[in-house]
A and B are shown apart, each in its own frame.
Chain A
Amino acid sequence: MEKRSYSWFERRRKTEALNLAQNQISKALDTTALLHKAMQYLSEGRGKEAIQSIENLFKTEEDVDSLRREIFRELSKGVALPAESREDLMHLVKRLDTLADHVKDAARCLRMLAETQIPKELLEKTVHMTSALVECATTLRGSIEKISEDPTTAIEKAKEVEQVEHEIDQNYLNAKPLFIKYAQQMNCGSIVIFDDLIEFIEQAADMCADTADYIMILTSRE
């Protein structure tokens, strides 16, 4: 994403920490699209492509992680930012780092499941969940971009994030009873890993909503 879209950051003094944060936020949100792509490939039986997407996701997540460490290092040096802005940055960076962590954990499960037979209905449900997760992340990105320039839109988008998160949570809960339907077709290892997979997607969505909550606080201060 282009740096100019983060006007909230631009209004603050330029520091290395801010540049790093822009990059970190952007990459963290990109991990959701990579997960969705991998999930789609898997549901289409394109295992090789799915694994390639997962590998790309792992690399992106490593970048997110090292950027987070660098940003916190910069901020702990007492960079030229007021305390409140440092705190805001920490909140955003930490939450998005956690989001990317959950997406990576989901991808790990997916990689294990790539070798097994999963009923189509479960795969489709999960594609639906990852698609909603991308929607969550995209809406969140839109909200962050509008914090300064258009706070009303930022709040509206933050609320949309909450709605999508709620939908993902419902899908997560509704997927569990399907284990009974497909118990004959799945071994217990697959059931456990699949349950992990949907849990990590739900946790990633939760973190999106958590970030959206924080944006509402930020917006009220702008």
Chain B
Amino acid sequence: MLDVGLERLTTILLRMGEIAEEAVELSIEGFLKGLDVSERVRSLSEVLVDMSVDAEDKAFELIAKYQPVASDLRIIKSYVKIAHDLERYGRYSWDISFIHRRIAQSERCEDPWALIEGMTEKVMDMVHASIESLRNHDAELAKKLAITENEVDEIYFKYLDLSAEASISTRCLITNLLAVRYLERIADHAAYMGESIVYVVTGEKVALR
């Protein structure tokens, strides 16, 4: 019975992964091309919130009913964390599309330092890799997330420094500033996911940030 429950939990997470990836991709596309996608992203984010609650309920039910030990317990606990990370992918995607609509008024914002597009590619790679490593229980792929996470951080801090020097004040500059923050947070959650996956597969607690 525990195995059946675990399988159901895994199915929920993998479906969440697909939706989360779609939400991140859509919000980035809207932001880069100047399209208002906020309502679509919002509904994806809401689905993720509901599914995360389902995943947590299922996990606690399994712990309480079957008192799993060793690797089963490790998987269940880590899956609760992963569900939260996937939910946050959705929320930050919505944040990106929300500020793009409310602050930039859905305009296509120029990036004066040409950093954001490269950052979005790295973040998308991380989101994809985090979900693939979950699907295949691939600890090696999960560990590689640390490298890209460092690169995303570097871009983020560079962007903050440049924004500080430029004394930001326009709608687009504020939108860009907040968007890079949300992208950096998505990258953080991808790294957290990587840590959980390594723990699930090897039992080893690693820090990927």
Q: How far is the CB of A108 from chain B (nearest CB, A)?
A: 15
A210 at the interface (CB under 8 A from B): yes
Question: Do B102 and A176 touch across chains, with their CB atoms under 8 A apart?
Answer: yes
A112 at the interface (CB under 8 A from B): no
Question: Do A188 and B171 touch across chains, with their CB atoms under 8 A apart?
Answer: no
Partner of B177, one of A177, A184, A188, A213: A188
Question: Do A87 and B168 touch across chains, with their CB atoms under 8 A apart?
Answer: no
Question: Do B98 and A180 touch across chains, with their CB atoms under 8 A apart?
Answer: no
A56 at the interface (CB under 8 A from B): no
A66 at the interface (CB under 8 A from B): no
Contacts A179-B174, A188-B163, A189-B164 given; indicate if A91 touches B60 (C-beta within 8 A).
yes
Question: Do A191 and B177 touch across chains, with their CB atoms under 8 A apart?
Answer: yes
Question: Do B64 and A87 touch across chains, with their CB atoms under 8 A apart?
Answer: yes
Interface residues of B in 70-90 (CB under 8 A from A): 73, 80
User: Please, how many angstroms separate the alpha-carbon atoms of A180 and B181 in the complex?
Assistant: 16
Contacts A184-B169, A188-B160, A213-B53 given; indicate if A176 touches B64 (C-beta within 8 A).
no
Provide the main secondary structure of the chain B interface.
helix
Question: Do A78 and B67 touch across chains, with their CB atoms under 8 A apart?
Answer: yes
A84 at the interface (CB under 8 A from B): yes
Q: How far is the CB of A217 from chain B (nearest CB, A)?
A: 9
Number of inter-chain CB pairs below 8 Å: 68
User: Please, how many angstroms separate the alpha-carbon atoms of A90 and B63 in the complex?
Assistant: 9
B178 at the interface (CB under 8 A from A): yes
User: Please, how many angstroms separate the alpha-carbon atoms of A184 and B174 in the complex?
Assistant: 11
Residues of the B chain whose Cβ atoms lie less than 8 Å from the Cβ of A173: 98, 102
Q: How far is the CB of B148 from chain A (nearest CB, A)?
A: 21
Contacts A177-B102, A179-B174 given; indicate if A192 touches B181 (C-beta within 8 A).
yes
Q: How far is the CB of A190 from chain B (nearest CB, A)?
A: 10
Question: Do B181 and A210 touch across chains, with their CB atoms under 8 A apart?
Answer: no
Q: How many residues of B contact A (CB 8 A)?
A: 29
Question: Do B178 and A87 touch across chains, with their CB atoms under 8 A apart?
Answer: no
User: Please, how many angstroms separate the alpha-carbon atoms of A42 and B165 in the complex?
Assistant: 27
Residues of the A chain whose Cβ atoms lie less than 8 Å from the Cβ of B61: 87
User: Please, how many angstroms separate the alpha-carbon atoms of A176 and B179 in the complex?
Assistant: 12
Interface residues of B in 165-209 (CB under 8 A from A): 167-171, 173-174, 177-178, 181
- Point out residues on A near B: beta carbons under 8 Å: 76, 78, 83-84, 86-87, 90-91, 94, 173, 176-177, 179-180, 183-184, 187-189, 191-192, 195-196, 199, 210, 213
- Point out residues on B near A: beta carbons under 8 Å: 53, 56-57, 60-61, 63-65, 67, 73, 80, 95, 98-99, 102-103, 160, 163-164, 167-171, 173-174, 177-178, 181
Ordered by A's residue number, 27 sampled pairs between the chains whose C-beta atoms are within 8 Å are A84-B64, A86-B63, A87-B64, A90-B60, A90-B63, A91-B60, A94-B60, A173-B98, A173-B102, A179-B103, A180-B171, A183-B168, A183-B173, A183-B174, A184-B167, A188-B164, A188-B168, A189-B160, A189-B164, A191-B168, A191-B174, A191-B178, A192-B160, A192-B177, A195-B181, A210-B53, A213-B53
Given contacts A87-B65, A188-B164, 6 further A-B contacts (CB under 8 A): A91-B60, A176-B99, A183-B170, A188-B168, A189-B164, A191-B168
